[in-house]
Amino acid sequence: MSKKEYLLVIILTWILWFAIAPIRGYHFMWAEIAHSIAFVILTWWMLTKFAPKAGIWRLLLILSSPWLFELVMRLFTPDNLFSLPVTVLPLWAVISVVIFYHYRKLWMLAIFAGLWLLGVTEGHKQWAEWISYRDKPTLSVVLADCEVSDNTHTFKLSEVESEYLVLDVWYSGCGVCLKKMPEVEALRNEYKSKKEVKIASIFVCMDDGETIEDGCRIMKERSYDIPVWGIDADSPLLRECEIKSYPRVLILDKERRVIFNGSLGFAKRKLNILL
């Protein structure tokens, strides 16, 4: 294999990587799928064209070079670990194609494809949940004496009658919070008839001058029928649960001990287990 051919492989590999990378700014999963499919095609084409000259393992090193470089960068920058599957899954796809090309075993291909599909769907969700909420406190935090307010009075969470209390924590400037609100509404409607579960919305008054009335107004404008309780930005609820990103869902037991601190999707699973 000539130097020009090696250069061609390297250039095509990196051009394809750069061309698809902008998709990440819109949707991680679609970026994983687009990169994986594109590199599977490129890898197979290069193997059939250059493998007899260069050897499959040398080609594997070249084809996986963008992903190996990106993987090293992510491992040294913890803030980028959230989107680690965007790197790992296309790399897995490239490695899988090379191994299948070498051994030509259909059962291998089935296993590789199944693991990739699991990674794109459930694996990505599990990773995002763990990396976002892995160190958040549960069980040791009790919010029984934490005060919240509705539009009539202030009360403690211990005064709310229910075996489980589900709190969706949000603030007015959080677009993702408002986008997720229909799911919160659907969850409340699902458990509305069950007395053992109470679902409420915790509005954080972030901006100066904001009050619980602002949270109620926002919910009313969007026709949501979820109880709105307000807290200040310095509330013990935020401090004890280490809430710095939104939205956040908490599940409290009868003693108002935090038994779940994470995302809405995984809160639903927790409720299904509890009930």
pLDDT tens digit sequence for 179-201: 999 999 999 999 988 889 999 99
CA 127/CA 118 separation, integer angstroms = 12
Q: Is residue 24 within 8 Å of residue 31, measured between CB atoms?
A: yes
Closest CA to 268 of 138, 148, 129: 129
pLDDT tens digit sequence for 211-244: 999 999 999 999 999 999 999 999 999 999 989 8
Q: Which CATH superfamily is domain 147-274 in?
A: Glutaredoxin (3.40.30.10)
User: What is the per-residue pLDDT for 107?
Assistant: 96
Taking residues 65-73, what's their average pLDDT? 93
Q: Is residue 261 within 8 Å of residue 250, measured between CB atoms?
A: yes
Which sequence spans correspond to the domains of the chain? 3-133, 147-274
Give the torsion sign (CA, 208, 209, 212, 215): negative
User: What is the per-residue pLDDT for 192?
Assistant: 86
Q: What is the dihedral of CA 47, 51, 57, 58, to 10 degrees?
A: -110
DSSP 122: I
CA 189/CA 166 separation, integer angstroms = 13
DSSP 226: -
User: What is the per-residue pLDDT for 54?
Assistant: 84
CA 143/CA 219 separation, integer angstroms = 25
The label of the residue with tokens 């009930």 reads: 275
Q: Residue ranges of the alpha helices (H) in the chain?
A: 3-20, 28-54, 56-63, 65-76, 85-103, 106-118, 124-133, 175-191, 212-221, 236-240, 264-274
User: What is the per-residue pLDDT for 94?
Assistant: 96
pLDDT tens digit sequence for 250-271: 999 999 999 999 989 889 988 9
pLDDT tens digit sequence for 19-46: 999 988 778 889 999 999 999 999 999 9
pLDDT of 139 above 70: no
User: What is the per-residue pLDDT for 129?
Assistant: 80
pLDDT of 78 above 80: no
- Calculate the average pLDDT of the chain: 91
The one-letter code for the residue type at 215 is: G
In total, the chain counts a number of residues equal to 275
pLDDT of 160 above 90: yes
User: What is the per-residue pLDDT for 152?
Assistant: 87
The label of the residue with tokens 């250059």 reads: 50
